[in-house]
Structure 1
Amino acid sequence: MNDSSKRLRVLLNCSIFAAITAILAQVEIPLPLIPISGQTLAVGLAATILGSRQGALSMVCYMLLGAIGLPVFAGFSGGLQVIVGPSGGYIIGFIATAFVTGLILEKTKFTIPMALLANIVGMFVTLFFGTVHLKFVLDLTWGAAMAAGVYPFLVVGFIKAFLASWIGIVVRQRLVQANLIQVKGDSA
């Protein structure tokens, strides 16, 4: 496969996962400040299937689509006001989450147990970014920021980490077999 074909495949994969994130963002449970949505499941899937660089790139694409005003964020919202608003830290954190989650898998093995560990670490990366942003945007105490930005998301976060790990590894194995994504060291 030549370089332009590889680049096209990377762009397509990243675009597909940006779209999956936009779709899953609309699956939400409303909460007072920050809704629980399917976005973090999509972030975990992107990182588990694509790895660190492509997973992070797909989240950059997702954030940029929303930043220019496309309604890809939770509740069919979009625009810079969402990124600088209370939930913006989580969206920014998706980039770091995808990179860290994918990097853990690349440095270990793409197995369900390792993916679960990586996705749990990724969940805490997202929660860290989101809570720090929430604290400063809403001028909350650290305790109030934790109460609004971490605690409501823990149980469902572990469930999404498990789903992203299990589904992600199964899908990744199928895509590798079909030669639709490449594993490091492949020259095909």
Structure 2
Amino acid sequence: MKLSLREQIQAAFFAIIIAGLSQLTIPLGLIPLTGQTFAIGLAVTFLGTRTGTMSIMIYLLLGLIGLPVFAGFTSGIGILLGPTGGYLVGFLFNGLLTGTMLSYRPDAYWWGIIANIAGAFATLAFGTLWLKWSTGMTWLAAFNGGFVLFILPGIIKAVAAAILGIFLRKRLGGKLALK
């Protein structure tokens, strides 16, 4: 995936935004409620599939090499392999799904909301499967604790990311070529 210098800078900038919003956390037991999914949706909605997903990859790589960018200023492979690791992996699929869907109707707010909700649900699905696998919880416990609890906050963050991302793209960049 070859990005222009401008796209590389944008991806790096949004990786920083994701890292910053990751620190906005509300503890809800094993899995905290964070600003990460809002930041992921905003990055992909504003930057498009390719550059937005690159920003997610940069964010994940920063955390994997030890920089404290994950929620709660954590980092490392242990976080990725722990109970919340599926959500981190799910961010990539969130970005790809949201960006691909947005490429069909990039300027329609209603479509942006649907795309961001679908992406948020992809994150929740990966996170729930990983939670079940990594903790040995029952399917019902993992579903209730890792998915159901986050549906309403996920929808709210997805709507906000879609509206803000499309608004900013229209105001700052004109027609963004979503790739």
- Please give the TM-score of this superposition, normalised by the length of structure 1: 0.90
Q: Which has the higher contact order (CA 8 A, sep 6+)?
A: 2
**Contact 1:52–1:102 (CA under 8 A) maintained in structure 2:** yes
> 1:42 deviation in Å?
0.3
Structure 2 partner of 1:61: 58
Kindly indicate whether residue 110 of structure 2 is the aligned counterpart of residue 83 of structure 1: no
- In structure 2, distance between residues paired with 1:90 and 1:134: 9
Kindly indicate whether residue 120 of structure 2 is the aligned counterpart of residue 123 of structure 1: yes
- In structure 2, distance between residues paired with 1:84 and 1:48: 28
Q: What code does the residue aligned with 2:109 have?
A: I
Q: For 1:15-47, what per-residue CA distance to the aligned partner results, in whole angstroms no more than 9, with x for missing partners?
A: 011100000000010011110000000000011
Q: Report which of the two structures shows the higher radius of gyration computed on alpha carbons.
A: 1
**Contact 2:49–2:178 (CA under 8 A) maintained in structure 1:** no
- In structure 1, distance between residues paired with 2:107 and 2:99: 9
Aligned residue runs from structure 1 range 142-161, under 5 A: 142-161=139-158
Aligned residue runs from structure 1 range 1-188, under 5 A: 7-177=4-174, 182-183=176-177
- In structure 1, distance between residues paired with 2:69 and 2:97: 23
> 1:107 deviation in Å?
2.0
**Contact 1:43–1:94 (CA under 8 A) maintained in structure 2:** yes
> 1:148 deviation in Å?
1.1
- In structure 1, distance between residues paired with 2:75 and 2:138: 27
> 1:182 deviation in Å?
4.3
Aligned residues: 178
**Contact 2:48–2:178 (CA under 8 A) maintained in structure 1:** no
What SS does structure 2 have at the residue aligned with 1:183?
coil
What SS does structure 2 have at the residue aligned with 1:156?
helix
**Contact 1:46–1:58 (CA under 8 A) maintained in structure 2:** yes
- In structure 2, distance between residues paired with 1:35 and 1:168: 24
**Contact 1:92–1:129 (CA under 8 A) maintained in structure 2:** yes
Q: For 1:124-145, what per-residue CA distance to the aligned partner results, in whole angstroms no more than 9, with x for missing partners?
A: 1000110111100001111111
Please report the RMSD computed on the Cα atoms of aligned residues, expressed in angstroms.
1.6
Runs of 4+ in 1 over 6 A off after TM superposition: none
What SS does structure 2 have at the residue aligned with 1:69?
coil
What SS does structure 1 have at the residue aligned with 2:52?
helix
- Please give the TM-score of this superposition, normalised by the length of structure 2: 0.95
Q: What code does the residue aligned with 2:151 have?
A: L
User: Unpaired segments of 5 or more residues in structure 2?
Assistant: none
